[in-house]
A and B are shown apart, each in its own frame.
Chain A
Amino acid sequence: SQQGEEDPQALSIQEGENATMNCSYKTSINNLQWYRQNSGRGLVHLILIRSNEREKHSGRLRVTLDTSKKSSSLLITASRAADTASYFCATGANTGTASKLTFGTGTRLQVTL
């Protein structure tokens, strides 16, 4: 079953605005990661936040994690047209034999000029 569910499914903003995407998950995790996917391509890692962290920054990206609510948010500040892509959250958990990575359904972000 899907671990992460992103919200909204699609988001359209103008260049310069901030974009916020949310992710909810169901079970205990070791970490939560955000990935970006340009149309029809593989995914690229953006940022990782561990379960004992509450907030993390990387450039124009800000990620928060609330383990009590089993949710995370990704904020992209001062968006650019080049930020147009799909964004996925992924939760990492140990299965006992491996570290499994489970993805959500994604948010499609469109940034217009």
Chain B
Amino acid sequence: DVKVTQSSRYLVKRTGEKVFLECVQDMDHENMFWYRQDPGLGLRLIYFSYDVKMKEKGDIPEGYSVSREKKERFSLILESASTNQTSMYLCASKSPGGTEAFFGQGTRLTVV
């Protein structure tokens, strides 16, 4: 059974904290993605990675960075959390080309 696992289901952090969201997949996929989901805005792509140590900015990368040191793990980093980063964060992985993506269960982050 294929799996994408996000480290936390719910997270509460304080403004200014450095926040790490972790995502692990067990399907040996090259491509991994981080999205945030907000009401009325759908899913917006923050960053994606097409190989170990390789990354590309998505549509809303400001305030975020990513790390992919191993193929199975893709981390999203909020350098200095702000209240406008309160959101649902979704990680996904897929093989290259036209294939389906597999999603984690999501992390609901609240920044207070």
Task: Show the binding face of A for B, using Cβ within 8 Å.
Answer: 1-2, 4, 6, 9, 30-31, 33, 35, 40-45, 48, 50, 88, 90, 92, 95, 97-106
Contacts and interface: CB of A to CB of B under 8 A. Distances in A.
B94 A99 contact: yes
A106 B42 CA distance: 6
B98 A48 contact: yes
Contacts of A105: 40-42
B98 A100 contact: no
Contact of B33 (A30, A40, A101): A101
B74 interface: no
Interface residues of B, number: 33
Q: Which of the listed residues B4, B100, B103 has the most CB atoms from chain A within 10 Å of its own CB?
A: B100
B73 interface: no
The 10 closest A-B pairs by CB, nearest first: A98-B50, A42-B103, A105-B42, A45-B100, A103-B43, A31-B98, A43-B103, A42-B105, A106-B42, A30-B98
17 contacts: A2-B41, A6-B42, A33-B101, A35-B101, A40-B106, A42-B104, A43-B101, A45-B100, A45-B101, A48-B98, A48-B99, A99-B50, A99-B96, A100-B45, A101-B33, A104-B42, A105-B42
Interface of B: 4, 31, 33, 35, 40-45, 48-50, 54, 56, 58-59, 88, 90, 92, 94, 96-106, 108
B76 to A, nearest CB: 15
Contacts of B106: 40-42
